[in-house]
Chain A
């Protein structure tokens, strides 16, 4: 059987979640591999949520936020961006940086971009294979 990656998606309420809605109402087809979780702001996604998903066996984590400058709370996504820089740096330092975490800015008008992003990320994870933590029970 083909490997179907499981992606946990954290979508900002004001932009990316609405973008996902638009992809649906526009009947755009994209892989069903992502489990979306609506959050009020990408800035509210603490690293602990990303890490927990990865350690418990999710193959990828997607975070969707408003484009820089468009945050409903003015600066939430700028903080997301810095936190992502930190997260990536730590993962690199530990040899855990496998490209399993993706942050992308997708507006409420970008249904197509949302569908394309999920498609692209799913393909990337299929190539990467299952998350090694899936079989590491001793974490």
Chain B
């Protein structure tokens, strides 16, 4: 572990300088990280010109998309010589881990750089209000007690138990520290060590105590939030009728699938020919119950989607952000995926080697299933 000194009390500028150097020295071909445009639009950007690094905002607490989705597009197939740095929040990192196990990203081309994340805002929440993003991030980073329970964070963030990355080549930490003074750098691979070569830093043999305490307080608060929100969900969404009501406004737009970082199929089953129905099919469908909702098949879509990807769901909640009718998917998926993963002692994105629950089996397990 390394403790680096923040220059001029500007942690983001310190990081920008480091990143720009990696690009100048040719250590990486490009870097994917959050960026802010001159017009105040926030999005992940793939930066290859060190001179453009001023647009980067590595610690920006705004999340419009899960960057793992972008990585699945950029690095779907590998290339022998390219090293791509990717700066990711914990939920994005966990999605990349899942995608890597699903063989959807070329892990060997990626240098995984994880950053601490206490929560993120919807873009529309800040883009209209914030003039100076540098100042916005800086004041955000210094007011860490507010992170504990900021009700303006996205719903998924308010329930998130993963403020630090679990799998990485390199991490940049600031929670529980004074990020205007120091940043904590952890390296977990040779590739990362090469990047850090020549960096001015002091060596640290263990995590600072106040950081561990802060993280434990943060995760505890988030767990409580999750329990509260799940209890609220249970009051309104359980059982056939309630669940139908919960999804009642679904437009069948499939946005939740399109933005989902772990929904990896090139062609979704629900966008396939199987669901291209003709007049006769609709009439037959209507006759079954006497009347049929249009658009058809929304419930089948949601329930099947859960069966297909709940074991890999990283609970980033981007599905909910993309829902035009505001269906509360974050808390629903939080509950369903957590329970589903618990059945297999699995936590999505926890490890690169732990096999995907549905891609493995043991002979001596679940003996009761099929026998009762």
The interface of chain A, by Cβ under 8 A from chain B, is 46-48, 51-52, 55-57, 65, 68-69, 75, 77-87, 89-90, 92-96, 103-105, 132-139
Contacts and interface: CB of A to CB of B under 8 A. Distances in A.
26 contacts: A47-B304, A47-B307, A48-B307, A51-B307, A52-B300, A56-B288, A68-B363, A69-B363, A75-B361, A78-B363, A81-B365, A82-B357, A82-B358, A85-B343, A85-B369, A86-B310, A86-B343, A90-B310, A90-B339, A94-B303, A94-B336, A103-B369, A136-B240, A136-B289, A138-B293, A139-B244
Given A82-B357, A139-B244, A57 B289 contact: yes
Contacts of B343: 85-86, 89
Given A86-B307, A86-B340, A137 B289 contact: yes
A103 B308 CA distance: 19
Nearest to B335: A93
B239 A96 contact: yes
B307 A90 contact: yes
A96 B361 CA distance: 26
B370 interface: yes
Contacts of A48: 269, 300, 304, 307
B290 to A, nearest CB: 7
A136 B244 contact: yes
A84 B370 contact: yes
A55 B269 contact: no
Counting from the closest, the 6 A-B pairs by CB-CB distance are A95-B238, A47-B307, A139-B299, A78-B361, A95-B239, A138-B293
Contacts of B365: 81
B282 interface: no
B237 interface: yes
A98 to B, nearest CB: 9
Interface in B318-372: 335-336, 339-340, 342-344, 357-358, 361-363, 365-366, 369-371
B288 A57 contact: yes
B298 interface: yes
A46 B308 CA distance: 9
Contacts of B288: 56-57
Contact of A92 (B289, B339, B357): B339
Interface of B: 234, 237-244, 248, 269, 285, 288-293, 298-300, 303-304, 306-308, 310-311, 335-336, 339-340, 342-344, 357-358, 361-363, 365-366, 369-371
Contact of A139 (B293, B335, B358): B293
B300 A79 contact: no
A110 B289 CA distance: 37
B300 A55 contact: yes
A57 B365 CA distance: 32
Which of A56, A85, A86, A96 neighbours the largest number of chain B CB atoms within 10 Å of its CB?
A86
Contacts of A47: 303-304, 307-308
B298 A139 contact: yes
A32 B310 CA distance: 36
A18 B172 CA distance: 60
B370 A104 contact: yes
Nearest to A67: B370
A96 B371 CA distance: 21
B357 A90 contact: no
B292 A137 contact: yes
B240 A132 contact: yes
A112 B50 CA distance: 74
Given A81-B370, A86-B310, A137-B293, A93 B243 contact: no
Given A57-B288, A104-B370, A82 B300 contact: no
Contacts of B243: 94-96
A93 B370 contact: no
Nearest to A56: B288
